[in-house]
Structure 1
Amino acid sequence: MTTATLDAPAGPLTLARPGEGDASLRAWDAADELLLQEAFARLEPSRQPRVLVIDDQFGALTLGLQPFQPDLVADSATLPAALADNAGLNPGLASLPEVRSWRTPPDARYDAVVLRIPRHADYLAWLLRWVNDVLAEDGLLLAGGMIKHLPDRGVDVFAQAVTTDTVCPARKKARVIVCRPGTAELADWSGTWKGYSPEQESFEVSALPAVFARDKLDIGTRLFLPRVRSAVAAVAPGARVLDLACGNGVVGMVALSARPDLALTFSDVSSQAIVSAERNVEAAFADSDCTFDHADGVAAGAGRFDLILLNPPFHEGGVVGDHIALRLFARAARHLAPGGRLLMVGNRHLGYHRSLRRFFPQVRQLDANPKFVVLEAATKR
C-alpha cells in the first residue's frame, strides 16, 4: 500500500489506496481536489453548515471536509475500511462519521451536498432526485467527476433534476458543477425500479439504478444459469449457498427456485444491490432461509459454504481488470467448506482458469461461448 499527500484546503492529508493493485493509483483524483476547493470557497466552517458527502471513494472528501464534520452515505461497502485506514494515517482528525448506505440512508436536511458523479446516467438521475429531498431550500450541491467518466446524457440528467448555477472550468481533466435544488422528486420518477422475468422462471426481478444489468439478463448470466440449476441439484438438503456479488439476486433466486430448502446468503459490495435482492426474494420466496450482507466480498462471520456462485465484476472506479475477481476468489476459498465448490462465469479473455489455480487445487471448465466461460473450482475434502 503506497501513500501520497493530498494538499487539501484544510491541510495536507496522507492517503493510501487499499489493495495490492497498481502502486501508481492514488486514493484521490483531480475531481476530489476540485470538489474540496469549491466547498471551502463557498462554505464557511464557522457558520457550521450541515454537509453531506455522497459516494466518497477512499475517504479523501470526508477527511478533507473534516472542519465541517460532514455526514456520509455511500453505495459501496469498501468505503468504511478505506476511510478508517486513511484516518489512521492522519492523527488529530476529528471523530469519523458513520458510513451510511442506501439500506439506511441519512434522514436530515443539509445546507450542502458534495457528490461524486457516478458513471451511469440512471444512478445519477436517482441521486439528484434524492438530493432534492434532503437539500435545504437555499442549499448547495457540488457535483464533480473526471470528465472521461461522466455519464452520457449527463447535461440532460442535471437539467431535468436540479438547477445548475455554475459549470466550473475543467481542470486536470476534471469538472465540478454547482447546483441548487430542483423540483424533480423520486416519488414521481419512473426510473427507480427496472426489471425483467428470467427465462424458465415464474418470478420477476427488479433493481435500483446502481445495480448491473438491472433491466435485462446479461449474456454471461444467461450462460451461467443452467449450470447453477445442475449444481444446486447435487448439494445436500439444507446446504449453505452463497450468491457472491449477487446484484439483483437473480442467480441465487434461480438456485432457490430449483431447491427451496437451501440456506441462501446474498452478498454484494453495492447497498442498492442488496436492497434490490432483498426486495426480490421477499416477493418471490418469502418463506426461504435467506441472509443479505452488504459486504466487500464475504461478510465477516459468514462462516463456510457448500457452494458459492459468482459472476464477478471486472471494473471498479474506472479501473478495469481481474483485480476484483482475484480478491473474491481468495475470500471464496477461505469460506468454502471441505469439499465445497465455487461455480463462476467470467469474461473469457481474462483467463480466470489460470487465476483460480492460485487458490483452488481443482479447476475445470463446464461451459463456454465466444465471450464467456463457466468454471468450477473445488476445495479438498
Structure 2
Amino acid sequence: MTTAELVFSQGRLTLSRPGTADPTLRAWDAADELLLEAALDAAAGFDEPRVLIVDDQFGALALGLSRFSPTIVADSAVLPVALAKNVSFNPAFPVAEPVYSWINPPAGLFDLVVLRIPRQADYLAWLLRWLNGVISDSGVLLAGGMIKHLPAKSVEVFAEAVQTEQVLPARKKARAIRCRKGAASLAGWPGAWKGYAVTGRNGDVEVEALPAVFAREKLDIGSRLLVPHVAKVASTLKAGDSVLDLACGNGVLGLTALAERDDLQLGFSDVSSQAVLSARHNVEQAFPGANAIFSHCDGIDAGTNACDLILLNPPFHEGGVVGDHIALRLFEQASQHLRPGGRLLMVGNRHLGYHRSLRRYFSSVEQLDASPKFVVFRAGNR
C-alpha cells in the first residue's frame, strides 16, 4: 500500500493505493484533480444536487465530493476496499453510501454524474447509454481521464451517445468534458454482448461478455495455450471436485472444465462485476444445471472452500500500470486455498518470469507448455 496527499480547493485528502508498495503509484492522478474541481463548479448550479460517481479508482472522487453524499457505482471490486481504507484516513470527509456494482446498479435520477473514462471504447459506449437512463433532463455529465489512456475512438463514442457541451482545458496531461444526456440507450444496442465459440467435448460452447471484460470478442492467445491443458486435467477429476476459475473474465476456463465434466463444483471469481455477470450468463446458457457460484471480489473470496484445481490467467496491468503485483497476490491466495494434492494451472507472459515467483508459494512448479510469448505452469504443494 502506498499513501500520498491530494490537495484541492476543499481541503487535503490522504489517499492510499492498495496492493502495491511502489511509491510512484498514487491513489489519484491529474484526472481526479480536474474532475473534482469541475464537479464542484457544476454542483454550484443546483440547490441540492443528487450526485453519481462512476468508476472512481481508489476513492479520490467519492471523498472529494462527500459533502453531496454521492451515490457510487464501480465495475471494480477494488474500490470498496480502497474507499473503506481511505475513509478511515479522512474523517472530515465521510462517505456513508455503499458502493454499487453492475450486479446491483443504483437507480436514478441524478443531477450531476462524474465519470472516469475507461480505456475500452465499448465499455465507454455502454456506460454513456446506461447513464442516459439515469441523468435528469437538466443534469450534467462530467467525464475525464488521462489523455494517454483515453480510447482511440472516444470522440466518436461521445458524439453517438450524448451531447457534448464543452471540452475543458487540458491539465497535467488530463482531459475532461462536460455533456448533457443524449437519446442513445442500451435497449437494442448490438454492442452490449460480443463473443465467440470454443470447442468442448460435446460440441461448441458459446462464450459472450459485456464490454468491460478482457478479450470478449476472441479467445486471447494466453488462454488459447492453456485451454487444452484445462480440458485434460478436468477430465481426470472426480464428480464433485472443486474447481475455481480465478480472475475468470468471461469464464472460458471454467466453461472448458465444465465441458469435460459437468458434475464438478465450479467457482468463478473476478474483480470486474461485468466479468462476473458474463461468466454467470455463459454458465446459465451452456450448463444450466451446473453447481456454480460467482464471486465479485479482488482475488479469492475469504469464504471460499479449499479447491482441487484453480485455473488462472492473471491480469498483468491495472489502470495502465504493468507488472506482476496482481499475479503475486493471486499466487499467494491460490496457495492458501488448495486442498492437499490440489493444483494451480495457469498461463502467464513469458517476460514476467512467473517460474521464479511461483516457487515462493508452491513447492512443486512444472512447465507444461510454452509459446514465444506465454508459458503454462502447473503448481502445487507436496
Q: TM-score range, shorter-chain basis?
A: over 0.9
Which of 200, 204, 226 aligns to 1:202? It is 204
1: distance between equivalents of 2:248 and 2:95?
A: 33
1: distance between equivalents of 2:296 and 2:219?
A: 22
Q: Unmatched 5+ residue regions in structure 2?
A: none
RMSD: 1.2
Matching of residue 364 in structure 1 with residue 382 in structure 2: no
Residue identity matched to 2:195:
G
Which of 272, 277, 280 aligns to 1:278? It is 280
Matching of residue 146 in structure 1 with residue 146 in structure 2: yes
Residue identity matched to 1:24:
T
Q: SS where residue 199 of structure 2 aligns?
A: coil
Conserved in 1, the CA contact under 8 Å of 2:234 and 2:261? yes
The Cα of 1:331 is off from its aligned counterpart by 0.8
Residue identity matched to 2:356:
R
Conserved in 2, the CA contact under 8 Å of 1:10 and 1:67? no
Q: SS where residue 205 of structure 2 aligns?
A: coil
Question: What is the identity percentage for the equivalent residue pairs of Structure 1 and Structure 2?
Answer: 63
2: distance between equivalents of 1:206 and 1:304?
A: 28
Residue identity matched to 1:367:
D
Residue identity matched to 1:332:
A
- 1:7 aligned residue: 7
The Cα of 1:218 is off from its aligned counterpart by 1.0
Conserved in 1, the CA contact under 8 Å of 2:199 and 2:205? no
1: distance between equivalents of 2:92 and 2:139?
A: 30
Of the structure 1 ranges 85-94 and 282-291, higher mean CA displacement relative to structure 2 is found in 85-94
TM-score by length of 1: 0.98
Conserved in 2, the CA contact under 8 Å of 1:78 and 1:269? yes
The Cα of 1:45 is off from its aligned counterpart by 8.9
Would the alpha carbon gap of residues 165 and 292 (structure 1) be closer, same or farther in structure 2, given more than 3 Å must change?
same
C-alpha distance after superposition, 1:151-202 (max 9, x if no partner):
0111111111100000011110001110000111111311000011113442
Matching of residue 348 in structure 1 with residue 350 in structure 2: yes
- 2:132 aligned residue: 132
- 1:329 aligned residue: 331
Conserved in 1, the CA contact under 8 Å of 2:2 and 2:20? no
Q: Unmatched 5+ residue regions in structure 1?
A: none
- 2:53 aligned residue: 53
Conserved in 2, the CA contact under 8 Å of 1:45 and 1:68? no
Conserved in 2, the CA contact under 8 Å of 1:78 and 1:295? yes
Residue identity matched to 1:121:
A
C-alpha distance after superposition, 1:5-60 (max 9, x if no partner):
11133221111111234112111000000000001111139821000000000000
Conserved in 2, the CA contact under 8 Å of 1:75 and 1:102? yes
- 2:43 aligned residue: 43
Conserved in 1, the CA contact under 8 Å of 2:87 and 2:95? no
Which of 243, 261, 264 aligns to 2:263? It is 261
Of the structure 1 ranges 249-258 and 94-103, higher mean CA displacement relative to structure 2 is found in 94-103
C-alpha distance after superposition, 1:103-145 (max 9, x if no partner):
0100121001100000010000100111111000111000000
2: distance between equivalents of 1:25 and 1:365?
A: 32
Q: SS where residue 199 of structure 1 aligns?
A: strand
Q: SS where residue 102 of structure 1 aligns?
A: coil
Matching of residue 247 in structure 1 with residue 249 in structure 2: yes
Conserved in 2, the CA contact under 8 Å of 1:130 and 1:185? yes
1: distance between equivalents of 2:165 and 2:253?
A: 44
C-alpha distance after superposition, 1:288-321 (max 9, x if no partner):
1000000101012112111000011111011011
Conserved in 1, the CA contact under 8 Å of 2:2 and 2:22? no
1: distance between equivalents of 2:186 and 2:114?
A: 19
Q: SS where residue 159 of structure 1 aligns?
A: helix
Which of 297, 300, 323 aligns to 1:298? It is 300
Conserved in 2, the CA contact under 8 Å of 1:9 and 1:40? no
- 2:26 aligned residue: 26
2: distance between equivalents of 1:190 and 1:227?
A: 33
Of the structure 1 ranges 325-334 and 195-204, higher mean CA displacement relative to structure 2 is found in 195-204
Of the structure 1 ranges 126-135 and 45-54, higher mean CA displacement relative to structure 2 is found in 45-54
2: distance between equivalents of 1:62 and 1:277?
A: 29
Q: SS where residue 204 of structure 2 aligns?
A: coil
Residue identity matched to 1:140:
V
2: distance between equivalents of 1:2 and 1:311?
A: 26
2: distance between equivalents of 1:322 and 1:186?
A: 36
- 1:312 aligned residue: 314
1: distance between equivalents of 2:94 and 2:23?
A: 28
Q: SS where residue 102 of structure 2 aligns?
A: coil
1: distance between equivalents of 2:86 and 2:94?
A: 13
Residue identity matched to 1:247:
G
- 2:220 aligned residue: 218
Would the alpha carbon gap of residues 297 and 117 (structure 1) be closer, same or farther in structure 2, given more than 3 Å must change?
same
Conserved in 2, the CA contact under 8 Å of 1:195 and 1:206? yes
- 1:69 aligned residue: 69
1: distance between equivalents of 2:75 and 2:114?
A: 15
